[in-house]
Chains A and B, each alone.
Chain A
Amino acid sequence: MPVISTKAAIAAALLTAFAAAPAYAAKTLVYCSEGSPENFTPALNTTGTSFDAARPVYNQLVEFERGTTKVVPGLAESWTVSDDGKELTFKLRKGVKFHSGVNGFTPSRDFNADDVIFTFDRMWKPENPYHKVTGGAYDYFNDMGMPDLLASIDKVDDYTVKFVLKEPNAPMLANLAMDFATIHSKEYADFLLKKGTPEQFDQIPVGTGPFSFVNYQKDAVIRYKAFPAYFEGPAKIDNLVYAITPDPTARYAKLKKGECHVMIAPNPADIAGMKTDPAVNLLSQPGLNIAYWAFNVEKPPFDKKEVRQAFNMAIDKAAIIKDVYQGAGQGAINPIPPTIWSYNKDVKDYAYDPEKAKKMLADAGVKTPLDIDLWWMPVQRPYNPNAKRIAEMMQADLAKIGVNAKLVSYEWGEYRKRMQEGEHTTGQLGWTGDNGDPDNFFFLLGCPAARKGGQNLAKWCNKEFDDLITKARTISDLSERTKLYEQAQVIFKEEAPWFTIAHSVVYEPTRKEVVDYKVSPFGRHEFYGVELK
């Protein structure tokens, strides 16, 4: 008898296994992502992949409106800035729930000021019990200069928090909308500490966001489900799935077959096909970034403005955009992308004119053939898909005006370090915006960054320019700041410390049944508000 029943059980199992009717379904949106997150705490991470993985679960005090760089209320319903610009007071939203039932945790209270204080203390105060958990390297908190800017963060009452700054800083608000400022549950942290498993805090996330975490299988899949008690109303999809698919061709094949609905980073070669694919909506937006070629003004002949201008005229930018970016880029004129407020449309780019460039070099007393080095970055970025190819094209253009450019590159860490030390004569790099504030780009050209080891790779320090951007940083009036930044862009173009190469164009293919997906200028992927037809 037992033999028969075992056989019957196997037969039944096989029958059900091969039958086609699926059990799990509902409205499930699958996003084909490109890699695995390091963990689920944005404060610990630096990659877009990790931020994207944590985002469905969490909120910040203030947030970027989906698809824009505009700062809007998040967990704080309103805020005020003191007259001296040194105090930001946030009124917190009431009745915000944390996810319940994840990792055995049931919250006993709503979100309040204690969660805000805990979140920032973890990054800031070594005595916080979570400070060293999961390595404790809070790169963005430090990189955005928060320890130098913050004097204190005070709980005024359960629903009021005051950030006191050491000096006025207009971009601070936008900083708080960044992923690193994601608000965590203090109660969950205490719960895990008591259980003796604090490291789970960063592996199994509990937040206030539109989706609660279900499961993560390394290198394969991350699952979330809609959080019915989300303070802005439940999501329009039931389940959100990240299918980790590293190869872009496979991602596109999955999109075509309906195995995923949204995909990241298509192959430039596939863009043309996507435009005509009836199953696909190809969305695009200019990226919040810039690729540039910096001239080290500390090394002759680049100490002369005329030489830098001549180099700007010697390079055929249009050919680079066509050949290297293949439609996924636009020529850059200013040091900030056109999507950022305060972009000065009146600034004109140098026209490609090798003859004039040659003459200007001669007028500036430069003897040809001139030997320079031209550094190209060893990594691929959306703003610069092939730095070596760009360097080779520049090399060919420069040869026409009597300049011999020697191509140089190093391993990434070494490359960046040496350029920051100012070892190069000329070199390529770029920048991707963090918070949508112009200061987040302009600081790259400021005098403090021109020091040895600093991020101003042209080592260019122009007092007039620096005064403008320093002043703009401290005032909160938007129109006044805009005027200052517009002037700064005029000085930048005239002084030409960089040859501005390009801003990338970000393409995001989605399936036709996906409704209201918005491409983020930050390259974020957000699914709250998205619907499936």
Chain B
Amino acid sequence: MLKLIFRRVALTLPTFVALMFVTFVAVRMVPGDPIEARTGERGIAPERLAALRHDLGLDQPVWKQFLDYAYGLLHGDFGVSIVTKTPVLHEFLILFPATLELALCALVFAIVLGIPAGVLAAVKRGSVLDHSVMTVALAGYSMPIFWWGLLLIMFVSEYLGLTPVSGRMDLINYYFEPVTGFMLIDSLLSGQEGAFGAAVAHLILPSIVLGTIPLAVIARMTRSSMLEVLGEDYVRTARAKGLSPLRVVGLHALRNALIPVVTVVGLQTGTLLAGAVLTETIFAWPGVGKWLIESISRRDYPALQGGIMLISAIVILVNLIVDMLYVAINPRIRHG
């Protein structure tokens, strides 16, 4: 097991170096530069532009800028945002808890609904239930996020008045300083009456919106994987032995059917952690996705590079954990 982990970690190193290089080059290939991007209609005098570029080190040859950047990274320095002048790592650490909190809630929503839905559809193959689940899953998968988010806001928040529209907390009635950055925890720590409930209420719609696509993918994957497993000999044997259908499906079939599902969950987690730009924008969720998109439009090279590197590291780590989970679920992989 340790050898496997070591091998996997060693393999990620070249990935990182390649990623660092590609990110560095790609952000500089986008037309425009950070100083001109923030200049309005007035424009900027060439001498002033040159002076400001010099201050930011943008007048250096690109290879030198890259080496400086790589040197900084090796020392844990992700640079300083051109726009806000604060360290990139500091900005990321402020925003990431919001992304993580939302991603986890969306994932829980997707798994809790997706796996049972997929199992039911497989067991009742060809029934009305099966067709309904698959139709809803297809609809969920094809749903434009922006439209879905606004629809839920209009119906659930505005019309039914059940949830708040956006943000992470009721700003009129509560105020407490962030401690962990996770609103669910901070609201509990604040000890203010009703704050935790408000935090939960604010999480409902964004979690549904962000979890809809993973939910659809997980449900479909669980169904097809279950169908395959249900046809296997050992399931027939288990049935022949007179085991209850719940035991056959829940214990014998589901465990084996889960392997591809875990892969999908892992991939979806990676996507969710990279930040959900549209969901974050609609629900005014202060996460890393929106931050990265703004960094592109402002040509904030350090924020963009640092943000991509940090997110990639997290995605790679999640994939590593998923690989380890396979081994736990299916011992054959250990020997493969």
Which residues of A pack against B, CB within 8 Å?
A: 13-14, 16-25, 28, 30, 35, 38-39, 46-47, 134-137, 139, 142-143, 199, 202-203, 215, 217-221, 223, 239, 241, 243-247, 249-250, 253-254, 256-257, 259, 410-414, 416-417, 420, 429-432, 453, 455
- B58 at the binding interface (Cβ < 8 Å): no
Are A199 and B164 closer than 8 Å at their CB atoms?
no
CA distance A35 to B297 in the complex (A): 13
Are B284 and A14 closer than 8 Å at their CB atoms?
no
Are B158 and A257 closer than 8 Å at their CB atoms?
yes
Are B194 and A412 closer than 8 Å at their CB atoms?
no
Residues of B174-210 contacting chain A, CB below 8 A: 174-175, 177-178, 187-188, 191-197
For B171, the chain A residues whose CB sits under 8 A away are 28, 30, 221, 241, 243, 259
CB-CB nearest in chain A for B287: A219
Q: How far is the CB of A39 from chain B (nearest CB, A)?
A: 6
Q: How far is the CB of B291 from chain A (nearest CB, A)?
A: 7
Are A17 and B193 closer than 8 Å at their CB atoms?
yes
CA distance A424 to B167 in the complex (A): 45
Q: Which of B82, B167, B195, B286 has the most CB of A within 10 A?
A: B167
CA distance A28 to B169 in the complex (A): 14
Which of A142, A199, A410, A430 sits near B41, CB closer than 8 Å?
A430
Are A246 and B193 closer than 8 Å at their CB atoms?
no
CA distance A417 to B33 in the complex (A): 12
Q: How far is the CB of B22 from chain A (nearest CB, A)?
A: 21
CB-CB nearest in chain B for A133: B85
Which of A22, A411, A453, A455 sits near B174, CB closer than 8 Å?
A22
Are B281 and A246 closer than 8 Å at their CB atoms?
yes
Binds A, one of B42-50, B126-134, B212-220, B318-326: B42-50
Are A22 and B31 closer than 8 Å at their CB atoms?
no
For B55, the chain A residues whose CB sits under 8 A away are 135-137
Are A218 and B158 closer than 8 Å at their CB atoms?
no
Given contacts A20-B197, A203-B86, A257-B164, contact A413 B37 (CB under 8 A): yes
CB-CB nearest in chain A for B153: A253
Are A243 and B167 closer than 8 Å at their CB atoms?
yes
CA distance A30 to B171 in the complex (A): 8
Q: How far is the CB of A33 from chain B (nearest CB, A)?
A: 10
Q: Which of B153, B165, B170, B195 has the most CB of A within 10 A?
A: B165
Are B166 and A245 closer than 8 Å at their CB atoms?
yes
Given contacts A17-B194, A253-B153, contact A220 B167 (CB under 8 A): yes
Are A247 and B193 closer than 8 Å at their CB atoms?
no
For B193, the chain A residues whose CB sits under 8 A away are 16-17, 19-23
- B39 at the binding interface (Cβ < 8 Å): yes
For A35, the chain B residues whose CB sits under 8 A away are 294
Are B168 and A412 closer than 8 Å at their CB atoms?
no
- B36 at the binding interface (Cβ < 8 Å): yes
Are A17 and B85 closer than 8 Å at their CB atoms?
no
User: In which size bucket is the chain B interface?
Assistant: 35 or more
Q: Which of B35, B84, B164 has the most CB of A within 10 A?
A: B84
Are A17 and B282 closer than 8 Å at their CB atoms?
no
Given contacts A243-B167, A249-B150, contact A417 B188 (CB under 8 A): no
Q: How far is the CB of B83 from chain A (nearest CB, A)?
A: 5
For A250, the chain B residues whose CB sits under 8 A away are 150, 153, 165-166, 282-284
Are A220 and B194 closer than 8 Å at their CB atoms?
no
Are B175 and A13 closer than 8 Å at their CB atoms?
no
Inter-chain contact total with CB atoms closer than 8 Å: 177
Given contacts A17-B187, A21-B194, A30-B171, contact A417 B165 (CB under 8 A): no
Residues of B15-65 contacting chain A, CB below 8 A: 31-33, 35-46, 48, 52, 55
For B170, the chain A residues whose CB sits under 8 A away are 22, 259
Which of B45, B167, B175, B197 sits near A223, CB closer than 8 Å?
B175
- B223 at the binding interface (Cβ < 8 Å): no
CA distance A25 to B173 in the complex (A): 5
Q: How far is the CB of B199 from chain A (nearest CB, A)?
A: 9
Q: Which of B43, B52, B168 has the most CB of A within 10 A?
A: B43
Are A220 and B166 closer than 8 Å at their CB atoms?
no
B260-288 contact mask (Cβ, 8 Å, vs A): 1 or 0: 00000000000000000000011110110
Given contacts A28-B171, A219-B291, contact A253 B95 (CB under 8 A): no
Given contacts A220-B168, A243-B167, A244-B286, contact A413 B39 (CB under 8 A): yes
CA distance A493 to B2 in the complex (A): 80
13 contacts between A and B (CB under 8 A): A17-B187, A19-B197, A20-B194, A22-B170, A217-B286, A220-B284, A221-B169, A241-B172, A245-B167, A250-B153, A253-B154, A253-B157, A257-B158
Q: How far is the CB of A43 from chain B (nearest CB, A)?
A: 14
Are A18 and B197 closer than 8 Å at their CB atoms?
yes
Q: How far is the CB of B133 from chain A (nearest CB, A)?
A: 31
Which of A203, A254, A429, A432 sits near B166, CB closer than 8 Å?
A254
For A246, the chain B residues whose CB sits under 8 A away are 281, 284, 290
The 4 tightest CB contacts between A and B, nearest first, are A413-B36, A17-B196, A22-B173, A219-B286
CA distance A123 to B67 in the complex (A): 33
Are B174 and A24 closer than 8 Å at their CB atoms?
yes
B129-157 contact mask (Cβ, 8 Å, vs A): 1 or 0: 00000000000000000000010011001
CA distance A243 to B172 in the complex (A): 10
Given contacts A13-B188, A217-B94, A218-B94, contact A259 B43 (CB under 8 A): no
CB-CB nearest in chain B for A434: B42
- B101 at the binding interface (Cβ < 8 Å): no
CA distance A22 to B84 in the complex (A): 34
Q: How far is the CB of A36 from chain B (nearest CB, A)?
A: 8
Q: Which of A239, A257, A413 has the most CB of B within 10 A?
A: A413
Q: Which of B42, B150, B161, B194 has the most CB of A within 10 A?
A: B42
Which of A30, A256, A417 sits near B172, CB closer than 8 Å?
A30
Are A199 and B172 closer than 8 Å at their CB atoms?
no
Q: How far is the CB of A21 from chain B (nearest CB, A)?
A: 5
CB-CB nearest in chain B for A136: B55
Given contacts A38-B83, A38-B84, A245-B166, contact A220 B158 (CB under 8 A): no
For A202, the chain B residues whose CB sits under 8 A away are 85
Are A455 and B95 closer than 8 Å at their CB atoms?
no
For A220, the chain B residues whose CB sits under 8 A away are 98, 167-168, 284, 286
Are A420 and B43 closer than 8 Å at their CB atoms?
yes
For B174, the chain A residues whose CB sits under 8 A away are 22-24
Which of A20, A134, A247, A453 sits near B281, CB closer than 8 Å?
A247
CB-CB nearest in chain A for B161: A257
Q: Which of A16, A256, A430 has the most CB of B within 10 A?
A: A16
Q: A247-B166, A257-B161 are in contact. List 13 more A-B contacts (CB 8 A).
A: A17-B196, A22-B173, A22-B174, A23-B192, A24-B173, A24-B192, A135-B82, A218-B91, A253-B165, A259-B165, A259-B166, A259-B170, A414-B32
B227-271 contact mask (Cβ, 8 Å, vs A): 1 or 0: 000000000000000000000000000000000000000000000
For B94, the chain A residues whose CB sits under 8 A away are 217-218
For A455, the chain B residues whose CB sits under 8 A away are 41-43
CA distance A431 to B43 in the complex (A): 12
CA distance A20 to B290 in the complex (A): 32
For A21, the chain B residues whose CB sits under 8 A away are 193-194
For B33, the chain A residues whose CB sits under 8 A away are 413
CB-CB nearest in chain A for B52: A137
Q: How far is the CB of B88 from chain A (nearest CB, A)?
A: 12
CA distance A55 to B39 in the complex (A): 21
Q: How far is the CB of A298 from chain B (nearest CB, A)?
A: 18
